Chains A and B, each alone.
Chain A
Amino acid sequence: DIQMTQSPSTLSASVGDRVTITCRASQSISSWLAWYQQKPGKAPKLLIYKASSLESGVPSRFSGSGSGTEFTLTISSLQPDDFATYYCQQYNSYPSAFGQGTKVEIK
């Protein structure tokens, strides 16, 4: 099974900061990776699919990159609404798997 590892687990940042979250796969998953944002008490929300494709309606400050085993989610200028937990998910093969999450906190 493919394992997904995110770093860091927690990130403290200020409004306006550029933020980068890393996700690593235990084996190559090509570009079959998605990113989600989750706020407390809510279901996850899709941000990015196919590693770098922005879901409709998602602000352009969010971007994704990478292929193979290493991927990044970047928020170019952190906004108050962006404080949340972010998860990556591989869908190269089943069983699918999520990273353990990265919580973005206010500094």
Chain B
Amino acid sequence: QVQLVQSGAEVKKPGASVKVSCKASGYTFTSYYMHWVRQAPGQGLEWMGIINPSGGSTSYAQKFQGRVTMTRDTSTSTVYMELSSLRSEDTAVYYCARNSGSYLSWCDYWGQGTLVTVSS
């Protein structure tokens, strides 16, 4: 069965960086793009970007351009999302979600989420 298992909660100081991992299993890792979506406390879902695990190409939301980097390790079937220059507004639960099919598609499986808290 498809599983996406994310790394544990993080507490970071303003200005620092955080790197969240998402380990995939139960399917061919390189055949499905992966989204990253975040949710601030009490707020809605915010799309951050997408990565192609096969070639490593990415597409980021303009809001995060220059601060976010999505990478992958095909040997461990893991994707990573690194966010730099953290500020308090980046406190949120970060989710990875598998793209169901072709490049433009919906999210069919989600990770459990990783809480990132930014606080001095």
Contact = CB atoms under 8 A, between A and B. Distances in A.
Contacts of B106: 34, 46, 49-50, 89, 91
Given A100-B44, A101-B45, A44 B104 contact: no
B100 interface: yes
Given A43-B113, A93-B104, A94-B104, A87 B44 contact: yes
B45 A95 contact: no
B46 A98 contact: yes
B47 interface: yes
A39 B105 CA distance: 23
A79 interface: no
Contacts of B45: 36, 38, 44, 87, 89, 98, 101
Name the residue among B46, B50, B62, B107 with the largest chain A CB count within 10 angstroms.
B107
Interface string B99-120: 0100011111011110000000
A97 interface: yes
Contacts, number: 60
Nearest to B109: A46
Contacts of A38: 45
A92 interface: yes
B44 A94 contact: no
Interface of B: 35, 37, 44-47, 49-50, 59-62, 95, 97, 100, 104-108, 110-113
Given A49-B106, A95-B49, 19 more contacts: A38-B45, A43-B97, A44-B45, A44-B110, A46-B108, A49-B108, A87-B44, A89-B45, A91-B104, A92-B104, A93-B104, A94-B59, A94-B104, A95-B47, A95-B60, A95-B62, A98-B37, A98-B44, A98-B45
Interface of A: 1, 32, 34, 36, 38, 43-46, 49-50, 55, 87, 89, 91-101
5 contacts: A49-B108, A87-B44, A95-B47, A95-B60, A98-B47
